[in-house]
Structure 1
Amino acid sequence: MFKTTASFLFIGLLTLTSPLEASCGSASCPLDTRSSFAAEKGAVRLGYQFEFIDQDRPRIGTKKASVGEISGHHDEQRTINRAHLLTGSWDITDRWSLDLGLPFISRSHRHIHNHHDGDVLPEGWDFSGLGDLMVQARFAFLKPEENRRPTLSAILGGEFPTGKDEAPNADGDHADPGITPGSGSTDGIVGLAWLQHFSMPMWGGEYALMPLFFSVTYKANGEGHDDYRLGYQLTASAGATYPATPRLGLIGQVNLLVKGRDSAGMTSEEVEKTGGDYLYVSPGVLVRITDDLEWSTLIQIPVRQRVNEIQITSNYNLLARLSYKFRL
């Protein structure tokens, strides 16, 4: 019984995001659903993930605001983000894992262009395209034979410029660098993850293993198109998946995202309106359809959102995914 339920929990939620967040409001869910399962030699996991984020709530600092309350060259109105992510994970050994993620991003953006001659022009973009490829390696430098003891893993990876970094609208105006599907930069990622399993009673009274994890990652972004550089990203997460039944898991996470200000490079972007920190609670459910196929969904609810100057934020984020596991 323990072995079957533990396998169910170990599969977890395979997620690799491609965060493209800036003043114009591009976004991805800052969830860590990769750290909830340990490496199993020879295991391969293939997944599809969908994210939806509707950013239509202007904010100044931590307070709600109105569009244009702090006026600038652009007054941001709304950005709708839809991301389709293909993921793959290969446990090379019981300590080494390799993770890949490639997003296809669909985005709609609206803002008001306050022209220097006094004209006020509404502008909009609707585009789709491949995002940047993310590659991560994990090494469990502390992995006891008993899975109820802590496992500690180091994370090292990068994001590579496979996505398009230009997106003109019908008038030929190019989208701001922060919202294009690709950043045009090569970025570095480092992190640490802690995982431990605890014996917990299921609803039926039998016991199963519950994974509890903590993780932290830091992403340093390189220069992209026109030397524009997205700000650094520091992400910290804690979460667990409670085994309600052998087929149903209840997911709970707390997620912190800290973003540095962007660097304008050779552009005239208003980078003072970038960066901030965000705290979320993220409940969800996981359903084991078969021994190897899982479906899960989460909603991400902001507890705190603090932005530099004025930016648009979301009231919630949605994520759904399907994952299939097999062995080589």
Structure 2
Amino acid sequence: MSTPYPFTAIVGQDDLRLGLLLNAVSPAVGGVLVRGEKGTAKSTAVRALAALMPEVSVVPGCRFSCDPASPDPACPDGPHADAAGVPRPARTVELPVGASEDRLVGALDIERALSEGVKAFEPGLLADAHRGILYVDEVNLLHDHLVDLLLDAAAMGASYVEREGVSVRHAARFLLVGTMNPEEGELRPQLLDRFGLTVEVSASRDTDERVEVVRRRLAYDDDPEGFAARWAEEEGALRERIAAARALLPRVVLGDGVLRQIAATCAAFEVDGMRADIVMARTATALAAWAGREEVTADDVRQAALLALPHRRRRNPFDAPGLDEDKLDQTLDEAGGDRGQDDDDPDPGPDGGGDGGGGGG
């Protein structure tokens, strides 16, 4: 198995790294859609994230990665007797653009089901990704029907397969990451809304930063193991920070004043439905946990809006991406925000400090 490029060695791309890390802290955020040109470390960052995810304990022999502490009662490989779990690293499962429906959700052997009464089920990629990361490169080129199935499973935490009156259900909870180049086509607004966060990435125009990207990438290509070893301490610190934020998350308080700010922001940017409000609340909570705080602040709400609303707001075809930050600040102030005063120890950045990490790919 090849050595992945270290997450902490990615240069710049702060929003990309933060969006991924928030989903690692709280998968309930709903995944992240990364939009940008080729060669901007999109795939590199996603593949590197798996190395930072906590190990998972699985039932031995279960093809659906059931947790021995709370096995899925509907697991096709169940029921599971009490047994010690086997630890394994979190997986990154990649969904090819040309994948079939059976490859995604799994395949039922109808002949055996009808003749023998046995639900012979071959797991698909959704089962493989359970309790890990599901990565869809060029998600905008995936067939709409498959995108619907994918997003339904991500929202429900389960996958259903029905063929000729025979049905199978299994758990499918995963961190969903999609990447796309907008020049190759857009996703339908209904599908965009199903991604929790969106991040726009582009190549840096700063000469020094570009030099550092090339320097680190060449060093990695020459000696992947040695390069990864030089970043092992930073990787370990970030892994511990993710675990600490996950442990803190249930204790984070989302006050009524913050909820009013979230509602006012979503109303001001005329987003459809209530999904944006819910995603903003979950993102702001994850941001507070990531910063080591037990209370959500107005600054968390502002950062959550910048990640959760750009792909949901109503805009004309030629409008620039992103949000009007002056309008956002005004809305937060009018809703009672007191930004910058609630947090005496602001979050130093996605990787916990330093110069913003290191190099792309």
Where on the TM-score scale, by shorter chain, does this alignment land: which range? under 0.3
Q: TM-score, normalization: structure 1?
A: 0.25
Q: TM-score, normalization: structure 2?
A: 0.23
Q: Which has the higher strand share?
A: 1
Q: Which has the higher helix share?
A: 2
